[in-house]
Chains A and B, each alone.
Chain A
Amino acid sequence: MTRTALTGNDAVAEALRQVNPDVAAVYPITPQTEMMHRFAEFVADGLVETEFVTVESEHSALSATIGASAAGSRAVTATSSQGLALMWEMLHIASGLRLPIVMPVVNRALSAPINIHCDHSDTMYSRDSGWIQIFSENSQEAYDNTIQAFRIAEHMSVRLPVMVTLDGFIISHTMETVDLLEDDEVRKFVGDFEAEYSLLDVDHPITVGSLFLPDYYFEAKRQEHEALINSFAVIEEVGKLYGELSGRKSGFFEAYRLDDAQLALVVMGSAAGTATEVVDELRGEGKPVGLLKIRLYRPFPTASITKVLARIPVVGVLDRAIAFGLEGGPVYHDVRSALYGQTTILQSFIAGLGGRDITPGHIRTMFDILADAKKRGKADDKTRFIGVRE
């Protein structure tokens, strides 16, 4: 193990260097760009054997990655925001063709208005694309999740693409302490990639991307859904094995001081760090608060979340994206669905859009609102926007 200081982008680039994929197809976009600068240095120094394909758009980045993956190679790309939006069509094709692509996504707000800073609108709006989505709180988790992503994606009962997210600038550009595994440990952990079918197996020609009419399409999509459901067990197992290797456990989520909590907040990404601090402070003041940090967003671990939240009287869900035209953000609605039929009082919060800081003060305000809801015995009908000018 090596302890070092890295930005989130560099930590992910290190993970990619250690995995040493066959093909990386990349296109610049802030704040993802520096990840690929770093990787390009590894290419230039001969530290990886990866074919580095510098394409002319994100649409082509994922298209080339799809071609490379269908050709039996281990293939990666990375993006943010508008780049992910431009890939939208290809996201569904990557999952529909059951290709185990790994793609770090550095979360950034979507235009318009144009903004280069963090929120989760980019990855939220791709949540139904059939990709596994894993969120990271800090550089360490971004590194750990990237390594695990290969093993999850390539597992024979999954064979689906995996998106590993890290918050733009807040994680991608912030230097933090990161513990790196040794190169050979990582290579042993992810193993060699063996494709079941490959376009390069010219003696056994296959047709990829056929036209499925009403007589077969439904079955193919149903199987894709089942693969995503199957991935729960694989993600759990890989997290356990990775924990044994690194000493850092990864589950579907992390429950922090929830056992006896009366008020809980659900968060994803970097805001969990801030929220953890505030929970400790409030606990110090004798307040029964706790935190649920979701790591695995798709597939959504509904049953496990029901189990851990159902006995907590008041729960708030912090979204970093709006579900336009609907009260409550996307994560709120998933949690609400998990708590259907329970007596839990549920409150939606939206904060931190377009890189607006989510401060300890904001988290305190959220817990105050939850405490008030407990007193009143009900939540607000409306989403509470925190940290926005009225």
Chain B
Amino acid sequence: MAIRLKDLSAKPDLFSSGHRACPGCSAPTMIRQMLLAADCPVVVSSATGCMEVVTTIYPYTAWRVPFIHSAFENSAATCSGIEAAYRALKKRGKINREIRFIAMGGDGGTYDIGFQSLSGAMERGHRMLYICYDNEAYMNTGIQRSSSTPLGALTSTSQVGKVAWGKQQPRKDLTACMIAHNIPYVAQASPHNFRDFMTKVQKALATDGATFINVFSTCPRGWQFKTEDTMDILKLAVETCFWPLYEVENDKWTVNYKPKQKVPLIEWLKLQGRFKHLLRPENEPVVARLQRDVDRAWEELLKREADSKAAAPAPAAGPEEKK
């Protein structure tokens, strides 16, 4: 299962170049990693959004795996139907090979309009992996705020003006919502750490049940940064603990990466035009609140990890139980 570049370079690339994503967008990188990680054939369903639009302009497609897009809010429901069809046809002997199913969507299609459909599919326990590429706003329609947009961020619908300083509400913690579904595998990842993300994809696809990975994703237009900085910005989101890399595997919490020295959040905010106004002195309290929220969530996460270690069952069966 170890992810080695040497092995990856020998695998076929299932996501072609020539798609129309913007330079500096990390979502196609994530898709390429996702498909490279899979050890058996996959079928992908996608919500309406950037990655659907830029990869499937008829008569072209960037997908070398079966792909379906049907609407905005139903990637998970569509995928659950495909998975049900697979089980039915397998039962009837019409299919006899292993296939895995991945549903994906952006934060709009996952945190907001697709939240119900995601929740339903996870609760029903279809054997499918849902991957959210979270770039913290509705980028495809022109950078409107979503429930994933952070406090203080400028978007087309959370403007900075005489009385407002960007989004007035903190972001929703969707990963926590998915953990609360008690599904066997939930993780957060980022494509700058491809080994971590691809290992998580492999774990999720090997799990017999519904799994979820929330993947941080940059948008150079929405976030306003230099396109060549995309991987650095993702990395810094993890170094500041704004986007911790962690996983919850059958109630076992693991923080996959702990920065040696937590970088102050302001260093990450500074690189992005969407937070530019927060650098003004009058907005210092907003930055302070953002930092406080990050610190609190990070401490909570470390505590969860420690608690789950303490609660972990004793190592497997002693010799007297072995037959």
Between A23, A50, A72, A97, the greatest number of chain B beta carbons within 10 A of the residue's beta carbon is seen for: A23
Nearest CB in chain A to that of B69: its residue: A209
Shortest beta-carbon distance from B175 to chain A in Å: 20
- Contact at B99–A200, with CB atoms within 8 Å? yes
Q: Mark A199-223, 1 if CB is under 8 A from B, else 0.
A: 1111001111111110010000000
Interface residues of B in 58-103 (CB under 8 A from A): 58-59, 61, 63-71, 73-74, 77-82, 84-89, 91-92, 95, 97, 99
Residue-wise interface mask of A (296-332) relative to B, using a CB-CB cutoff of 8 A (1 in contact, 0 not): 0000000000000000000000000000000000000
For A57, list chain B residues within 8 Å (CB).
Answer: 116-117, 120
Residues of chain A within 8 A of B312, CB atoms compared: none
* Stretch from A61-69, A266-274, A366-374 contacting the other chain: A61-69
Q: Are A71 and B81 in contact (CB under 8 A)?
A: yes
Bound-state Cα–Cα, A32 to B302, Å: 50
A335 sits at the interface (CB 8 A): no
CB-defined contacts of A54 to chain B, threshold 8 Å: 124
Given A23-B88, A53-B84, also A63-B78 (CB < 8 A): yes
Name the residue of chain B whose CB is nearest to the CB of A24: B84
In angstroms, Cα B77 to Cα A49, docked, is 21
Question: For the complex, what is the distance from the CA of A58 to the CA of B218, rounded to whole Å?
Answer: 34
Q: For the complex, is B239 an interface residue (Cβ under 8 Å from A)? A: no
Q: In the bound complex, do residue B58 and residue A67 qualify as a contact, i.e. CB atoms below 8 Å apart? A: no
B103 — nearest CB in chain A belongs to which residue? A67
Shortest Cβ gap from A43 to chain B (Å): 12
Whether A56 sits at the interface, judged by CB under 8 Å, is yes
From the candidates A71, A75, A210, A211, name the one contacting B86 in the complex (CB within 8 A): A71
Q: Which residues of B contact A63 (CB under 8 A)?
A: 70-71, 74, 77-78, 81, 117
Which of B49-57, B279-287, B313-321 forms contacts with chain A? B49-57
Does A60 touch B at the CB level, under 8 Å?
A: yes
Question: In the bound complex, how far is the Cα of B52 from the Cα of A23, in angstroms?
Answer: 26
Q: State whether A67 touches B78 (Cβ < 8 A).
A: yes
Are A67's CB and B91's CB within 8 A? no
A90 interfacial by beta-carbon distance below 8 Å: yes
A212 to B58, CA, bound (A): 5
B207 within 8 A of A: no
Of A67, A68, A202, A212, the most chain B CB neighbours within 10 A belong to A67
Contact of A202 among B43, B119, B124 (CB under 8 A): B43
Task: Take A23-B84, A64-B80 as given contacts and tell me if A56 and B43 are in contact as well, using a CB distance cutoff of 8 Å.
Answer: no
Chain B nearest Cβ from A367, distance in angstroms: 47
* Docked complex Cα distance between A22 and B86 (Å): 9
Q: Is A241 interfacial (CB 8 A cutoff)? A: no
Q: In the complex, what distance in Å separates the CA atom of A25 from the CA atom of B95?
A: 21
Q: Are A205 and B63 in contact (CB under 8 A)?
A: yes
Assuming the contacts A56-B119, A64-B78, A64-B80, asked whether A72 and B85 have C-beta atoms less than 8 A apart, the reply is: yes
Indicate whether B41 reaches chain A with its CB closer than 8 angstroms. yes
Mark contacts of A49-91 with chain B using CB atoms, 8 A cut-off: 1 yes-contact digit, 0 otherwise: 1110111110110011111111111010000000000000110
The CA-CA distance from A304 to B119 in the complex, in Å, is 49
Q: Does B110 sit within 8 A of A, measured CB to CB?
A: no
Residue on B with the closest CB to A89? B71
Q: How many contacts A-B (CB < 8 Å)?
A: 165
Find chain B residues with CB under 8 A from A56 CB: 116-117, 119-120, 123
Report B-chain residues with C-beta under 8 Å of the C-beta of A227: none
Please determine whether A68 and B81 come into contact, CB atoms closer than 8 angstroms: yes
Contacts of A55 in B (CB 8 A): 77, 80, 120, 124
* Number of B positions contacting A (CB below 8 A): 46
Is A67's CB under 8 angstroms from B57's CB?
Answer: no
Does A65 contact B81, Cβ atoms closer than 8 Å? yes
Residues of B within 8 A of A69 (CB): 81, 85
CA gap between A54 and B61 in the complex, in Å: 32
Q: A60-B77, A210-B58, A213-B57 are in contact. Are A199 and B66 (CB under 8 A)?
A: yes
Task: Please tell me which one of the listed residues B42, B61, B70, B119 contacts residue A66 in the complex, with CB atoms under 8 A apart.
Answer: B70
Residues of A within 8 Å of B41, CB to CB, are 202
By CB atoms of chain A within 10 A, which of B53, B67, B123 has the most?
B67
The reply on A93 being an interface residue by CB < 8 A is yes
Q: In the assembled complex, which residues on chain A have CB atoms less than 8 Å from the CB atom of B124?
A: 53-55
Q: Chain B residue with minimal CB distance to A206?
A: B66
Are A64 and B77 touching (Cβ within 8 A)? yes
CB proximity of B41 to chain A, nearest CB, Å: 4
B45 located at the interface, meaning its Cβ lies under 8 Å from any Cβ of chain A in the complex? yes
* B88 surroundings in chain A (CB, below 8 A): 22-23, 49-51, 68, 73
Q: Are A60 and B120 in contact (CB under 8 A)?
A: yes
Q: Are B74 and A51 in contact (CB-based, < 8 A)?
A: no
Q: List residues of chain A with CB under 8 Å of any chain B CB.
A: 22-23, 25, 49-51, 53-57, 59-60, 63-73, 75, 89-90, 93, 97, 199-202, 205-213, 216
Give me 24 A-to-B residue pairs in the complex whose CB atoms sit less than 8 angstroms apart, sorted by A's number: A55-B80, A55-B124, A56-B116, A56-B117, A57-B120, A63-B71, A64-B78, A64-B81, A64-B84, A67-B80, A71-B85, A75-B85, A93-B70, A200-B82, A200-B89, A201-B66, A202-B43, A202-B99, A207-B63, A207-B66, A208-B66, A208-B68, A210-B56, A211-B57
5 A-B pairs closest in CB distance: A67-B81, A56-B120, A64-B81, A60-B77, A73-B85
